[in-house]
Structure 1
């Protein structure tokens, strides 16, 4: 491999690792719930690498490519930049500093944690910055219903062969992780379903689904709760 191609390959690999969901700087949760009525929320980081890391933390509104200095969100993270020794833990404070949260529905943002290793003088060494990214859910006060009940209220339909229509009538996001449709003794699934925004609908493709949709079917699906735990649900399709 030529020097130019080697540098290109290393650059591509570094870009991929930079977007990894699992890094050496570990968060104490997989999602962050922010009730808008509270002053701030706290989460903890730990450095599980065997040497120090420079850590940068920021929040974006959904675009993973936006640079931290250009991210326009109503949050402040303290500290935004810090140094963490091997084995060290650090608390982060996230404060909402926008207008009073309104709109009657939950909103979603993303919290980013980038761990940068120290420079090395070793010849031919390649170093990568690893980035973790988790959802931050902002909940305005007095939302109708409860977040833990949103998944049970989903409405499922079979609009046409090979697809499943799902509607979320709640004020909360529902993070689907798998869907299995049981019909006429067979099962058809989707293991990468979307996250459903509040009061929205989605069409889910079912792998291996029959050419003719059945009018009688049962949906087994899993979701993630506020703590990142998997919950299992069963629902009937409606006509």
Structure 2
């Protein structure tokens, strides 16, 4: 009996992540400082079971100060389970947010009596943002106007003087969207390549703590 399994990594930004029959109850996790744990749901609306494996890692792929329980389990059809994310309390930076990845891999069951079946294991990555207790009274949207934008020819820079991760939904230069704007880390500067022919003001939107698009902001260069 032969079986082929492929893994795909997806970055998803919709309000609910759905793939291969498995639904994950969110596109990001905000872990508030002072709490020992938070959670996210995994739902299987299909009739067949999946094997669910999950773990947390740093942006660089190294181990993170979080563990997920259960790390490996069978999720039967029409069932839901809750992943608990626990903070082990080591190595956390308390003057700014920290970014990690929650990885959730869903492996489908093999259809009985079928040989040479192509099976696809899907790995989804969602952001886990640790927000220290001293910062929990505000969100990135509350301080987004502090971003500073500068441009020199075909280089656009954004400086983030705040302790929050600014996750961009979109950035536009003269009404034209930049591809894959990603984020700018706390107390950091990020640079983008832009078309030197594109001119005009900068507009941008953030992704909220709930995975939705925020309001549009403007900067005059």
Same fold (TM > 0.5): yes
Decide which structure has the larger Cα Rg and report it.
1
Residues 191 and 222 of structure 1: CA distance in aligned 2, closer, same or farther (over 3 Å):
farther
Answer yes or no: is the 8 Å Cα contact 1:116–1:128 preserved in 2. yes
Residues 237 and 42 of structure 1: CA distance in aligned 2, closer, same or farther (over 3 Å):
same
Count of residues in Structure 1 that have an aligned counterpart in Structure 2: 210
Answer yes or no: is the 8 Å Cα contact 1:55–1:84 preserved in 2. yes
Superposition RMSD in Å: 2.4
Partner of 1:53: 50
Residues 98 and 197 of structure 1: CA distance in aligned 2, closer, same or farther (over 3 Å):
same
Q: Which of the residues 19, 34, 45 maps onto 2:9? A: 19
Gap runs ≥5 in structure 1: 1-6
TM-score normalized by structure 1? 0.79
Greater share of strand residues, 1 or 2?
Answer: 2
Matched, 1:132 2:124: yes
Answer yes or no: is the 8 Å Cα contact 2:201–2:218 preserved in 1. yes
TM-score normalized by structure 2? 0.85
Q: Which of the residues 4, 16, 28 maps onto 1:31? A: 28
Secondary structure of 1:221's aligned partner: strand
Q: Which of the residues 209, 220, 229 maps onto 2:203? A: 220
Whole-angstrom CA distance in 2 between matches of 1:74 and 1:43: 17
Matched, 1:209 2:196: yes
Secondary structure of 2:118's aligned partner: coil
Answer yes or no: is the 8 Å Cα contact 1:41–1:95 preserved in 2. yes
Whole-angstrom CA distance in 1 between matches of 2:214 and 2:121: 33
Answer yes or no: is the 8 Å Cα contact 1:218–1:234 preserved in 2. no
Whole-angstrom CA distance in 2 between matches of 1:87 and 1:150: 42
Gap runs ≥5 in structure 2: 12-17
